[in-house]
Every structure is written in structure tokens, then in C-alpha cells.
Structure 1
Amino acid sequence: MARRMKLDLSIILEKTTELVDENGVDKLSLGSLAEKLGVRPPSLYNHFEGLNGLKQKLAIHGVEKLHEYMLQAAVGKAGDDAVRAVSEAYIQFVRTHPGLYDASNRFADTNDIELQRAQESVVKLVVQVLQAYNLNDEMAIHMVRGLRSILHGFTSIEHMGGFGMPLDIDESFLILINTFIEGIHSIISKG
């Protein structure tokens, strides 16, 4: 007789991430997850409330993973190098976990305190990276919003296959981030 896997939320989220990265978040079902885990669907209800509850936990997990990628990239770097590093980590996260990233943005209940904390940790990290430029608090938030827009927009277009021209996508990305950094330096010099 096969031994059953002891389920906990971290194992469930790991397997759910595999499913959504392989098949897309729209194809996620409790039945497919239960099959991947080798359990019956009712067993999953001990860990979250239905499919929507799973998607909420997955959104939180995705934001936390994104933070981990960006934090690891930022360690030991400052200024322009840190901006490039966290930006490249963001892109790498989305390329590695497209379904998880999608789930983090589409299905989240933004009133969830746990999700808000995870999102705030990403914002705080980027604000810390931007501290090297001595921006005032308001300008730092504008720059965080700008960088997020660049990163989300770029990854969304890439994921949809929107960069069809025969040019190196990574080079386009580097030019885009360097232009953003030059914009920060321009703001500082006008300061």
C-alpha cells in the first residue's frame, strides 16, 4: 500500500505553482491539484476554502516569491546596479513562473491583510534600492510605480508573444531599464 503524502499548505502551493506554470491559472481546478498531490479533493478543504481560497493563497505565495527573487538579486548592490539587478530578477521570476505571476495579479483579494503585507514588502525593497538616489518620499513612490509599470508591461507583452521582431528581447529590456535609470539621474540633476 502506498504511503500518503502529509499535506501542508507549502506542499500544496508548490504543486499548485507547478500546475499553473505548466497549464496556466485558468485551467487550475481542485480536481487537477488533488490528482497531482495523490489525494482526494475533499482533503484540500482542510487548508483553504475552495478554489477561490486556493487562488488567494497562491497570489500571496506569488508575491512572496517575487520578493525573494528581488531581495536575493539586490544583496550587495547599490544604485544603478541594484536597480538593474531587481529588474532582471523580476523578469526572471515571471519567465520562470508565468502562471504564478498571473495568479498574483488577477485573482487576488486586495483587501487581504496578508497579501497587503507581501505587496508592501516588494514596494519597501524597491524604495530601499532607490534610497541611493536620495529621492524624496513622494518621488521615490513615483519611481516605484514607474518601474513596476515598465516591468509588468514588458513581461506581459513578452508573455503574450508581442515581441515578434527579430531583435534580442534581453537587449531591448536592458535599454529600457538603462533609460529608466537615466531618467532618475536626470531628475536628480534638476533637483
Structure 2
Amino acid sequence: MPRAGLTPQVVVHEAARLADEVGYDRLTLAALANRLGVALPSLYKHVRGADALAQKLSALATAELAEEMTTAAAGRSGEDALRAVAAAYRSYARRHPGRYLSAQRVPDPADPAHLAAGQRAVGVVYAILRGYGIDGDAAVDAVRMFRAAVHGFVSLEATGDFGLPRAVDHSFDQMVAALGVAFRSWPTTALSGTG
């Protein structure tokens, strides 16, 4: 018999907390069952397996990250919005390291809520870029640049790879300022290249 009060939502939220505490790579169904005080087979009443749990956790984390980015952008534009959204992205990754890693999973096409959360997060960056006059295919390139820069920074920061004697916060601010410079001078004509 399932534990009273245990639902798929409770399981996923507890998995999120556990991933933040022990690391996403150490999140297992056995560890989660132990945390919830149930036998491992009992979890299968709430999630179909490890991959299904990972997908549900990714959907939750993507929605949370999108919400924080949207809130940070509200009422802002231009560089102010860029700084606020980048800071919110970094803050989420620092506060929720396990969830953040799970959010890097490609949304499941069969999960409309996961797809919507991913589109909402990307939509915040697209809105900022429109303020710089960047749209269409150029905006796709700029979104990729934003994500590569900020994700790369927070990933390196999380693994302690910034060992040089310089304040990491200052380096982050400089990177975001450089993104602003790049977006202000974004090429108006397509560069040659493929893919």
C-alpha cells in the first residue's frame, strides 16, 4: 500500500530537494525511496522509473527557472533587463545546483508543460533581444550566445574552476556587460556559414 500523502508531485519535489543536497548525478530511485521512507517498489506507483523521474524533475526545474527569469525581467528593458535575468539565472543555479543540472535536459515533446516552461525561459531572452533590435534568425544566434555564456559561467563556477585571484562576481558582471556590448553591435546582415 502506498504511503499516505505520497503523490507524484510529492515524489518529484522531494527528488528536487535531494538532487540539490547530494548532486543530480547522485540522485537515484533507491536514495529517493530511502528519503521518503518507502520501499523502492513503492516509488513505481508514482513514477515509472529513473528516466521518468528525471524528465519530471527537469520539467519542474525548467518551470522554476523560467519563473525566476520572468520575474527578474518584469518592468525592465535593455541592459537592466539583461543584467537582472543573467543574475536570476545564476542565482537559481547556485541555490539549486541539482535542479539546475536537471533543467539542461531537452524538454519532452510529449509534456506540454515542460515545452511551455522551456519556451517561457527562452522567450524572456528573446524579449530582451528585441530591445536591442535583434529578431528573427539573428535572435536565435543571440539566444544561443546568451545561454552558452551564462550556462558556461555558472557551470564552471559550480565546479570550482575559477581559481584565479579575481572576484568571481566581478568577472560575471564583466561578462554580462560584454554581452550587452555584443548585442548593441549585433550584425544586421547574416554572416556566411552553415548550421
Name the SS of the counterpart of 2:5 in structure 1. Answer: coil
The farther-off stretch of 56-65 and 4-13 is 4-13
The answer as to 2:19 corresponding to 1:14 is: no
Q: CA deviation at 1:54?
A: 0.5
Runs of 4+ in 1 over 6 A off after TM superposition: none
Q: 1:66-145 to 2 correspondence within 5 Å?
A: 66-105=65-104, 110-114=108-112, 115-145=114-144
Shift of 1:10: 2.6
CA distance in 2, matches of 1:5, 1:87: 41
Give me the whole-angstrom Cα distance separating, in 2, the residues matched to 1:26 and 1:97: 14
**Counterpart residue number, 1:34:** 33
Shift of 1:5: 4.7
What is the deviation of 1:171? 0.6
Structure 2 counterpart of 1:61: 60
Deviates more, 1:59-68 or 1:4-13: 4-13
- Partner SS for 2:124: helix
User: Which deviates more from structure 2 when the two are superposed, residues 97-106 or residues 141-150?
Assistant: 97-106
Q: Structure 2 regions of 5+ residues with no counterpart?
A: 190-195
- Aligned-partner residue type, residue 185 of structure 1: R
Displacement of 1:35: 2.1
- Which one is further off, 39-48 or 155-164? 39-48
Instruction: Tell whether the 8 Å contact from 2:55 to 2:108 is kept in structure 1 after alignment.
Output: no
CA displacement, residues 77-126 of structure 1 (integer Å, 9 cap, x when unaligned)? 111101111100000011011111112225x5654444333222211121
How many Å separate the matches in 2 of 1:132 and 1:112? 33
Structure-2 residue corresponding to 1:52: 51
- Relative to structure 2, which stretch is displaced further, 48-57 or 128-137? 128-137
TM (norm. structure 2) is 0.86
Measure, in 2, the Cα distance between the counterparts of 1:143 and 1:50.
37
Secondary structure of 2:165 counterpart: coil
Aligned to 1:163, what secondary structure does the other structure show? coil
Please tell me whether the aligned partners of residues 63 and 117 of structure 2 are also in contact (alpha carbons under 8 angstroms): yes
> Following TM superposition, by how much is the alpha carbon of 1:129 offset from its aligned partner in structure 2, in angstroms?
2.1
1:166-177 alignment runs, 5 A limit: 166-177=165-176
TM-score, structure 1 length as denominator? 0.88
Q: How many residues align?
A: 186
- Give the deviation of 1:38 after TM superposition: 2.5
Alignment partner of 2:103: what SS?
A: helix
CA offsets 1:132-166 (integer angstroms, 9 cap, x no match):
12223122221111000001110111111110112
User: Aligned in 2, Cα 1:65/1:174: closer, same or farther, shift over 3 Å?
Assistant: same
Code of the residue aligned with 2:174 in structure 1: it is I
